[in-house]
Amino acid sequence: MKKEEQNRRGDDIIAGRNAVLEALRSGRTIDSLYVARGQRTGSIGALIAKAKELGVAVKEADSKKLDYMCGNAAHQGVVAVAAVKEYATVDDLFALAQERGEPPFFIVADGLEDPHNLGAVLRTAECAGAHGIIVPKRHSVGLTYAVGKASAGAVEYVPVARVTNIAATLEELKKRGVWTFAADMDGQDWCSVDYKGPTAIVVGSEGFGVGRLVKEKCDFVISLPMKGKINSLNASVACGVICYEVARQRSGIPMK
C-alpha cells in the first residue's frame, strides 16, 4: 500500500486494544474485527465478545496482515475496520422504493469478498436505479474504504443492508411480495422474465456462485449466454448486465 493511500484510509483503520474497545463502546459502525491468529483470551477475548454482541464479524489473521492493514502501527494483535457509511435495514430499502413510487428493486450479494466487485455492484445499482443492496454479515466484504473507493461515490447514494442470514432474508422478501432471481448456471434466459414488479437479483460469490440453499429459496434461476471457454463472468459484470435489463424493462425501452 502506498504511503499516501495509507494516509487517506487512516480513518477507517483502528489499531490497538484500547482504541478498538472505545470504538466499539462509542457506537461507531465497525465493519469487522481482525484478531491475531490463536489469540482469544484475556482482553482480546473480551473484545471478541463485545464485537459479537454488536453483530460485528470477527476474523482471524496473521500478524503480517495486521501489520500491513495498519501501516506497521502497534496493533497489539487487534485491528478493527470501520464502515465508511452506516448500514441500512431491509425496511429502509423498502421505504426508499415507496418514496420514489417504484416497485422495489434490490440486489442481494451472496458472499462477495472482493471489495472491487462490491464497489462495482454499488456503482451499477446507483446507475440502474436499484433501491439498495443486501449483504450477509459473514463471509462477505463490508463497506470498507476500498469498497467506497471502487464505488466511485455510489456508496453515498445506495443503501446497503447487512443481514445475518441471506436465505431467511429471501423468505422475508418473498412474503413482502418480491420476486427473487438467482443469477446462476442452467437457468432461463436473463431477458425472458418480467422484472417490472418487485424484484431482487441475487448474485453469488467470486469462487462459488450462489449458495445451494440461497438458490433453492429463489423463485427463478436466470442465466447469461456463455459462448467462450470460460463458463462464468465476473460477478459485478454479470450483475451489471442483468440490472440493465431490469432498467430497460422498467423504462419501457423496447427491444429492437
* pLDDT tens, residue by residue, 51-100: 989 888 888 999 899 999 888 888 999 999 988 888 999 999 999 999 99
Q: How far is CA 86 from CA 30, 122, 161, 212, in A?
A: 9, 15, 9, 30
> What distance in Å separates the CA atoms of residue 25 and residue 8, rounded to the nearest whole number?
24
Residue 8 pLDDT: 43
Average pLDDT over residues 142-148: 87
Work out the pLDDT band at 185, boundaries 50, 70, 90.
confident
Residue 136 confidence (pLDDT) above 80 = yes
Average pLDDT over residues 107-127: 94
Question: Percent of the chain beyond pLDDT 90?
Answer: 62
Q: Which residues pair with 189 in a beta bridge?
A: 223
Query: Residue 2, SS3?
Result: coil
Average pLDDT over residues 211-215: 94
Residue 167 pLDDT: 96
Work out the pLDDT band at 101, boundaries 50, 70, 90.
very high
What's the mean pLDDT when you consider all of the chain? 90
pTM of the model: 0.84
Work out the pLDDT band at 226, boundaries 50, 70, 90.
confident
Average pLDDT over residues 237-249: 95
- Which residues does 18 contact at the CB level (< 8 Å), separation at least 6? none
Residue 1 pLDDT: 44
